Structure 1
Amino acid sequence: MYYPYFIAYISIGLTISLVVFYWAFRTGQFSDQQRARFLPLRDETDEPPVKASRFNRIEIYGLFFLATAGLGATVALLAFALYFSK
């Protein structure tokens, strides 16, 4: 009876996941896979910390908003399903 809600919820989550994966692929998050295995061996004391740019802060806030909205949607869908399951 509530299958359309769960199907819509799953399809929205899948769509958002694919968009985030496409964004990560386009920005080069997966470009240098050989470098990742040497990161634990690297000494990071020689480099100064990188200051976060305005775009990075906006990006972090956007990701936090998406995570919060996803959790809120999950709670709302479960509450809706439990309330009308009688």
Structure 2
Amino acid sequence: MDNDARGITGYSLAGAQYGYGLLWAVVLVTISLAVVQEMVARMGVVTDKGLADLIRERFGVRVAFWSMILLLVANAATTVAEFAGLLERWIFSG
């Protein structure tokens, strides 16, 4: 979980609406993130290759290309959300 403007807004809204009812999900997501990070780190150390190389070897160039495009779009959307959160904070801070 991230402590940025977009995240804090989302956490505040979810907390106001659901209270502690979804707290179990935080534990589940934290464990899942730790497992995935460990697996990816081990794959990188053992194969000495990055994600795109591993996807390309296993699934082909087309799947690797679209996976990287999807990753680019997701990162761009996150960046836009970050700036939107900062702009909102700047506008309404006065």
User: Please, what TM-score do these two structures have when normalized by structure 1?
Assistant: 0.49
Q: Which has the higher helix share?
A: 2
User: Please, what TM-score do these two structures have when normalized by structure 2?
Assistant: 0.45
Structure (1 or 2) with the larger CA radius of gyration: 1
